[in-house]
Amino acid sequence: MVQIGYGRAGWYSYDPLDNLGRPSAEQLIPELQQLQMGDWVSMGGKPRPATAMRVKAFEPNRWPLWEHQGCPWVWVLRPIDQETTRLITRGRNRYTGKDVVLPLGPVLMELGDPFMMRKQLRNLKRRAEQLATTRRSATAGAAGQEGTAVDSSVLTPNRGRLAVLEVEADIRRPVEEVFDYCSDPTHEPEWNIKMTGAERLSDGPIGVGTRYRMAFASAPSVLAECVRFARPRVWELVGRSKVRTSGWRGRVLPSGDGARLVLRMELQLHGPLGLATPLLGRRMRPELERDIATIKAKLEQTA
């Protein structure tokens, strides 16, 4: 939250409207984590009184208060339990006689701001939950096996938007069994109803460099290559089709008497279609949640 702002991490809302088309950051930016009284939070362009807010006050990990020409905007974090926090935000606008004569600005603010604020809160929620999942998994992975540290991203976006989805499930099967089943894409048609086939194109054991051709019912085929393979903890693939580039990461961690499976999908549409990447991400999330539920059911049925 403290890294919000134009020219910083972005506004996490509708980037074409409030961030000049630049995608808002998906990860923490270390150099933007130190909030100071008087810092600028730009709404667009070079920070100045007309285009930016100032940090008027804050309490670390509790609340920051911004102010723009006498109008406050506050964020409040209220702990619910050890793993849940409620984020509350409230802003106040002040209009003048000039706004009555030329009401376009106030009309746009009053009609559009609720939708943009809702989008911003949902995106903050998603990023914070993904960060928590990554940290929990990294801690468990470090305890279970050294040398399997996970980078923050599979893909490096090429001047475009990146949709990131992550889901997890606890499965009552051994870690090695979950890893072997899930890391072999030829099994994917068994749990992904959109995939009609997966063909392995490389000889030898599965590992870095193994290539696959994946066919889908309503999308172009994908050529994928394994770019990381550390049995039984983590694997990564990068796939490309005519319309998009995809990255997959799977992690398998010890969990009680079974394993925790964490699946991460990164999507980037090519060319002008890139504007629709956030929509694709929202559409794919329930599909990924359904897929991991199917994996869990299928593996536990064989117990």
Q: What is the DSSP string of 195-255?
A: EEEEEE---SSS-TT-EEEEEESSS--EEEEEEEEETTTEEEEEEE-SSEEEEEEEEEEEE
Q: How many domains does the chain have?
A: 2
Mark whether 158 and 263 lie in a shared domain: yes
pLDDT given for residue 147 in this prediction: 44
Tell me: do 126 and 187 sit in the same domain: no
What are the 10-residue block averages of pLDDT along the chain, 303 residues in total?
88 84 82 85 85 89 89 91 87 72 65 84 85 63 48 62 87 95 95 93 90 91 91 92 89 92 89 78 88 95 76
Q: Which of 107, 132, 157 is the last residue of a domain?
A: 132
What CATH number is associated with residue 259? 3.30.530.20
Is there a contact between 277 and 161 (Cβ–Cβ < 8 Å)?
A: yes
* pLDDT for the residue numbered 248: 92
* Same domain, residue pair 117 and 171: no
Pairwise CA distance, residues 138 & 115, whole Å: 35
CB atoms within 10 A of CB 243: 13
Q: Are residues 246 and 294 in the same domain?
A: yes
In this structure, is residue 219 part of a structural domain? yes
Q: Are residues 74 and 193 in the same domain?
A: no
- In this prediction the pTM is 0.53
Reference 172, options 302, 53, 270, 83; nearest CA is: 302
76 occurs within a structural domain: yes
Task: Tell me which DSSP letter residue 12 carries.
Answer: S
Is 4 within a domain?
A: no
Structural domain includes residue 26: yes
| Same domain assignment for residues 124 and 262 | no
> Which structural domain range is residue 106 located in?
15-132
Residues 121 and 200 in one domain: no
Domain assignment present for residue 82? The answer is yes
Strands ordered across the beta sheet of 40-42: 40-42, 52-59, 63-68, 71-81, 84-91
Rg, Å, the chain Cα set:
22
Tell me: do 280 and 166 sit in the same domain.
yes
- State residue 107's pLDDT score: 66
161 in the same domain as 111:
no
Q: CB atoms < 10 A from the CB of 195, how many?
A: 18
Judgement on whether residues 55 and 178 belong to the same structural domain of the protein = no
Residues 174 and 257 placed together within one structural domain of the fold: yes
Last residue of a domain, one of 69, 101, 132: 132
> What angle (nearest 5°) sits at the alpha carbon of residue 119, between those of residues 114 and 122?
125
Q: Among the three residues 72, 97, 132, which one is the final residue of a domain in this structure?
A: 132
